[in-house]
Amino acid sequence: ARLLSALRAFFADGVRRGERSEDPSALLDPPKLPRLLPKALAESQIDALLAAPDIDSPLGLRDRAMLELMYAAGLRVSELVLLPATAVNLRQGVLRVTGKGSKERLVPLGEESQHWLERYLQQSRPQLVGKGKVHALADGQTPLFVEPTLHALTRQAFWHLVKRHAQVAGIDPARISPHGLRHSFATHLLNRGADLRALQMLLGHSSLSTTQIYTLVAREHLQKLHARHHPRG
C-alpha cells in the first residue's frame, strides 16, 4: 500500500510536469488491508476489573466509580476525565456527555454505576477535596473526578489506573487499554441483542458506519462459539 502510494505520487508528478501522458499506476488495484477490530474484554474479565479497586480507600472508591461509569456509559477516555460535576443527574439516572465536535448526548447510568457514583460523591470525593478548592476544567466547570492534588485526572493517569487494576484482576496489562472498556460496552450490548442505531446514539458516533464495525466483532464471537461447541464446527 505504501509502495503504491509512492508510485501514484511519482507518476502524478510526471503527468503534471508534462513528462508523461498517462499514469500507469491507475491500473493497479490497492491491496486489501486487514481490518483491525476493536478488542473487547470478556464479561468475566470486566467483572474482575471492576472489583479490583480497594473500595475502603477514597482513591479506590473513586477508581471503582470511574470504571463502573466508563463501562456502563461507553465513554471515551477524554469524556470521562473531563466530565463536569454538573453532568450527572442521579435523580433521573442519566449522564450528559459532551463528545467529539462538542456534540451532547444523554446516556443512561444504570443502577450499578449509579450506586458507585453516589458512594463516591458522598464518601470519597469529600475526603479527596477536603477544605481545598478544586481546580476548574478548561471550560471553567468543576471536574467530577479529582486527584488528591485537586486537579482532574489526565488521560495518562487514567491509563495507568486501568493497567494497575488489570494486573490485580489477573488480566494481562498489555491486552487492555482504557478504550477497551468502551469497546467492551459496545460489544456486550450488541451480543445481548441491542439495536445498532441505539448503540450509535449511546456511543456518540456521527455515522452508523463507524458503529457497524462492532457487528464484525459480534460475528467473530459467534463464529468462535460455533467452532468450539458445534459437533460439526
Residues marked active site are found at: 76, 100, 179, 182, 205, 214
CB 121 within 8 A of CB 86: no
DSSP 68: H
List the alpha helices (DSSP H) in 74-174.
Answer: 77-81, 111-119, 125-129, 155-168
Please give the grid coordinates belonging to residue 220: 467473530
Of residues 131, 130, 135, the one with CA closest to residue 150: 135
